Amino acid sequence: MAVPGQGTLRRWQREAPSGFDFALLGPREVGQEAFREGTVLESALAGLKGVAGELKAKTVVFLAPQDFTQNRSNKSALKSFLISAKSIFGGVVFDAGASWKPDDADSLAEDTGTVAVRDPLQQGLSKRKVAYYRLPGPAGHKSRYEDPAIDRLAEILSSGPKQQATYVFANVDMFTDAKRFRKAAGLH
């Protein structure tokens, strides 16, 4: 895992607006190891814990690789990992991958006190009080959302349950798409 240097961490802290809460993206090695215990996982989490401490980050997001299938063995490993990660970092968000049923991921999140990622345009809204929505782009990272998709997303938000939700655009036009979404949804 490439851990940011002290100079980079200080710059991030200096440049962040007052009251900014940092969230960290977990190292790829965690998902590549299928969330199973071992020296790679321990090393990656130790480095991440140091960065989280420096930035006073309260949330860490972990992503599973595309080939992380939904089966009993992976569910057990992920559940153990999430319980352990929650004890280290507090706020834990996880994306189990496209092959997982969103309601099953939400159920696992409920069991572990964590939050599962969803794409609201593809999988609908979570029924949980706290939700994390990741929008990867309609055709992947290098695509942008057109106005009808942004309007549909705003409609989904307005018709959904009252919840504390984080919406993350993860495509190349993320900033522009997020601003358009905020405007369409009437968020300030």
Give pLDDT, residue 26. 94
Q: Are strands 59-63 and 164-169 parallel, antiparallel or unpaired?
A: unpaired
Cβ neighbors of 77 (< 8 A, separation 6 or more) are: 34, 35, 36
Q: Choose among 73, 71, 113: nearest CA to 90.
A: 113
Please state the domain extents for the chain.
1-115, 119-188
pTM recorded for the entire structure = 0.90
Q: What is the mean pLDDT of each run of 10 residues along the chain (188 residues)?
A: 84 90 93 95 93 93 95 97 94 94 97 97 95 93 94 93 93 94 90
Q: Quote the CATH superfamily of domain 1-115.
A: Protein of unknown function UPF0759 (3.20.20.410)
